[in-house]
Amino acid sequence: MLTAMITAGFPAPPTDGVDVFGPLSISFYAVCILIGAALAVWLAGRLWESRGGTKENVFDATIWAVLLGFLGARLYHVITSPDAYFGPEGEISRIPEVWNGGLSIIGAVIFGALGVWIACRRYGIRFGAFTDVLVPGVLLAQAIGRWGNWFNQELYGAPTTLPWGLVIDTSQRHQPLPLGAGSETAFHPTFFYEFAWNLIGVAVLLWLFQRFQFKTGLLTWSYVAYYALGRFWIESLRYDELAKSTQFPLSEFGIDWRLNQIIMLVVFLIAMVMLARLWSQRPRTDEELQEELRIYLTEEEKKSDDSETEDVGEEEEEGSDDDSETSSSSSTS
């Protein structure tokens, strides 16, 4: 019997949104996502400018990232939760109902990265350099967005007796409770675990960004490894993922992991390989560092920079020739 030993901790939200006019309402889930996205764009713009870029690059890339990221977030959720839409009790008509939750951060990051890549190709920006300044903001957006899960009363963990347990308001919409759980049962607030984990990650990434000049892509893959590691742990606590446990072949070895845990483990291993590769290629001299910093320039800016360098070189050569002629004249005299 799942009975709560406590009645305090994280309270249930008073509501998941507000009615505006008639059928029109504002979902706090959507508000959290929008606030997170706005903060991500603001932070990325500041970091990109600090490397010599322009905010317009960030705004242009954001359009692509948001459109494809939103599509990917929903698509990944539908694919990994097929029973809710294609099962015996599922409803295909619910696929467009994003206001009821069901946006996967994993899918958003994958498709959002594709959108950024398209933008970089269009505007002549180095993809790896651009993602390095984006990832702190992306992780911040993920942290803020997790509070949307609290408002929707979803994606919480297994029942717990810990003092910070999450209480569910059963009179509101929420995901199905486990068998034996009641209105007083407390659950692991996995949304808050991920919020805290991501917020710490933002601080670490910003410190690395300000403190070190890395090889292009190192910060991006650091984000990937960090997020995958935290998500692997948090997925093990989530109650809603129990139905997605892997039966074969890992079950043959006594391993009972969720689908997202397997995906996060693979992503983490790939990220570690990429980090090792990029670390071995990091700039070790001032000349290599200056060349590495040129990646923050667009193709037009690089051409302009090269032209200025050539002009300076020609002026130095002319000055050297003048000195030689003056020296020769003096010798003749």
How many CB atoms lie under 10 A from the CB of residue 69?
26
> pTM score, two decimals?
0.76
Domain annotation covers residue 147: yes
pLDDT of the residue at 140? 96
Binding-site residue numbers are 146
Does 16 fall in a domain? Answer: no
Choose among 241, 192, 162: nearest CA to 13.
192
Instruction: Domain count for the chain, please give it.
Output: 1
The per-residue pLDDT string of the chain (333 residues; one tens digit each, 9 = 90 and over) reads 344 444 447 788 887 777 777 667 788 888 998 999 999 999 999 998 888 878 888 888 888 888 898 899 888 888 877 777 887 777 888 888 876 667 787 888 899 999 999 988 888 888 888 899 999 999 999 999 999 988 888 888 888 888 889 888 877 766 777 766 777 788 899 999 999 999 999 999 999 998 876 678 889 999 999 999 999 999 888 876 555 555 445 666 666 777 788 889 999 999 999 999 988 877 666 666 666 666 555 555 555 655 554 554 555 555 555 555 555 555 554
- Residue at 333 is within a domain: no
Q: Which domain holds residue 249?
A: 26-299
pLDDT value for 233: 92
Residue 6, domain member (yes or no): no
Residue 22's SS3 state is coil
Residue 3 included in any domain: no
pLDDT at 146: 92
Question: Other C-beta atoms within 10 Å of 315: how many?
Answer: 10
Structure-derived torsion over alpha carbons of residues 240, 243, 244, 246, reported in degrees to the nearest 10: 130
Query: Is 13 within the bounds of a domain?
Result: no
Give, in degrees to the nearest 5, the angle at Cα 190 between 131 and 134: 10
Report the alpha-carbon distance of residue 283 to residue 213 in Å, rounded: 8
What pLDDT score was predicted for residue 182? 73
